Structure 1
């Protein structure tokens, strides 16, 4: 099939209008999350033939140090901030308003989340009826639900983007200062009182701060800095991070500092966007190649599907490997490490195989067809609140059957509220 000159121009225009380095960063973050979760789950047989289940990666002596580089969720939120900022500007030029933006962002979270929660209801309910050991089931389900915190944080940050963009336009430095001060105050109160639930407030302050860095990147502030300045900013962020960890206020394991979100995520966000900007030129050269563009498009167009479904697929693959002779070596053995690339390929292969069934949920249209009108702002706000509830409940209580059922109900109601109305 050939591409017409008009189609070629259209493709070139799309590429020219995007920062492909940000797209590359987003895809790299998604794939790294899959790798980390795959290495965290160790299932196999020991020398005596007994089944071994372990969180092997966290037991490695180098793991905590590696998280200072491998904890890339702040970079993902920076990339999300860039995307939200540019999308909001584009929507404004087309005459859209805040309600339009919130509706679109909520649709793109609630729609792909709904089939996952339906799956959870069926899987958890079926396992319960089948008599699976409740303790084992609770452990597995809680682990599978771990990544769902992202839906609450991302939805909150994205829906707030139009208001935060306004603050960025009026007082960019003051906005960052207020958010950082609030995050520090929340952490101080949490650490001082020992009440972990206080840290939930930083689901807003920390991730809004990190998202705001994406606004600064979109405005060109980071690109305008001298390379040595970017190195100094990144070094200063890591130095402060080292100091607060050495003081005993935070864990040296950056995964521990992720939930609840805390000041280390803020510092990592500053360092990561500085280093990404420093590497922008060679990465941009890479993204001018068709091969890199194809990979980034292939993964990026399925980013939410990969993120939401990779962990259930990992659990299924690990379970099935126990039924195949030689496919489940003892976790930590040389054979286990050697089979991780194969396991990664299998997991991604399965996710891509099921993605055609799920892309209709991820790529849900946000436009209003002729003869219909947008729902009222109050309906859109209610839908956003409903979509926030299930992943937030997972953060507080961990995933279980009741939360899965609530999720199906909330996401279904949210999508119904967001549907275009008849004129």
Structure 2
């Protein structure tokens, strides 16, 4: 056997070993969540053409069963649970190889925000050209609002990633007290929001609600859910959904789980509990599914570019609709039988174009290399500054909505933040050569 064949055999063996050690259900759920978000947006944004001009509607929200469907289709709590699992594994791996909090935070923020660098650049150019061409402000604001909608996730997830080292320590010392404390904080923020009738107060729940879901992921990584009986898991899931019924019936929290998303509210924490339990109930059949090559291949193709697909799918969907209008394609009436019949086609086209974009931007999605001996990440003040540079523009989009000014700020600050995080310095006690 040649040296090349031996090396190839070893590589294949390493890949199989890695797959065997991973919980592939986590990869499946993460990928499924991204695809489901694309499905929701493809069915929620309907572009119609009539004698009165172009009209944008939301056919999905007009369906009678839409609100009930959000109790299942609102998967962002589950996404943060899965993120907590991955964060726990990543944090333990960082500690095992001698790294620390700065290494972990830098690595996670770079992986999260690198794909956003070209996006903010393209958004700045596109909005700048549209403004220069005299696009009506109302139309431009509506389009920008839709394009920027997914960017809230960067801010929320970036905040939780910065908190992983602290939350992991709290989890190790008092997991249940930590969960209880976060739940109480989330309830207190909502109470203050209702008392003051100020929606902006709810921004404080970017911490408690999503960190609560993340801590559930830590429990998952510990094997806590796997050790519980199916009866208990089902009872907890039913109990969580049962609590949501009176909560969303008193007029404080919306029964539409998408309305409770930004800023996040207490019902999403209960939804995270229910979803975590339900996933464990179907973990065995999902594990069997992920042993098939078809499932592994699909998850590999879509999952490796999941963040890029998530960030780009809505701008691409809106751009594809714009191109269709320019070339004169027939647009069925949104919500009609023909329109619904074309949704699978629209989904496939959007995913295919998003994958093509992701492949072209693959370099921007590469992880931060591990530290070599004798090096370290920048000091905490630099990491904190970089975190502000990366998270800040996404937070501005979430609060102020996307505009040319916000896009330009992101195009400038996010690359600076990523660059700062990618720098290395000599480790303490190591002289610079």
Alignment of 1:171-210 (within 5 A): 171-210=174-213
**Rounded Cα–Cα distance in structure 1 between residues aligned with 2:377 and 2:167:** 23
Which residue number in structure 1 is paired with residue 244 of structure 2?
A: 241
Q: What SS does structure 2 have at the residue aligned with 1:332?
A: coil
Cα offset, 1:11, TM superposition: 1.2
84, 88, 93: which one aligns with 2:91:
88
**Rounded Cα–Cα distance in structure 1 between residues aligned with 2:32 and 2:169:** 30
Aligned length: 422
Runs of 4+ deviating beyond 3 Å: 1-4, 323-327, 368-373
**Rounded Cα–Cα distance in structure 2 between residues aligned with 1:99 and 1:323:** 49
5, 18, 29: which one aligns with 1:25:
29
**Rounded Cα–Cα distance in structure 2 between residues aligned with 1:421 and 1:173:** 37
Cα offset, 1:377, TM superposition: 2.6
Tell me, which stretches of 5 or more residues in structure 1 are unaligned?
none
**Rounded Cα–Cα distance in structure 2 between residues aligned with 1:190 and 1:239:** 24
Structure 1, residues 223-279: CA drift from partner, whole Å, max 9, x if none? 111101011000000010111001111111100000110011101100001000000
Alignment of 1:13-162 (within 5 A): 13-46=17-50, 48=51, 50-162=53-165
Q: What SS does structure 2 have at the residue aligned with 1:258?
A: coil
Tell me, which stretches of 5 or more residues in structure 2 are unaligned?
426-431
Structure 1, residues 13-62: CA drift from partner, whole Å, max 9, x if none? 1112211111100000000000001111101224x584332122112221
**Rounded Cα–Cα distance in structure 1 between residues aligned with 2:395 and 2:282:** 35
**Rounded Cα–Cα distance in structure 1 between residues aligned with 2:328 and 2:342:** 14
Taking only aligned residues, the RMSD between alpha carbons, in angstroms, comes to 1.7
Which residue number in structure 2 is paired with residue 383 of structure 1?
A: 386
Alignment of 1:264-275 (within 5 A): 264-275=267-278
TM-score, structure 2 as length reference: 0.94
Which residue number in structure 2 is paired with residue 328 of structure 1?
A: 331
Structure 1, residues 288-333: CA drift from partner, whole Å, max 9, x if none? 1111111111111001100000000000111122245554111111
Which residue number in structure 2 is paired with residue 303 of structure 1?
A: 306
**Rounded Cα–Cα distance in structure 1 between residues aligned with 2:32 and 2:411:** 30
Cα offset, 1:371, TM superposition: 8.2
**Rounded Cα–Cα distance in structure 2 between residues aligned with 1:237 and 1:174:** 19
Structure 1, residues 310-366: CA drift from partner, whole Å, max 9, x if none? 000000111122245554111111111111111111111111111122121112333
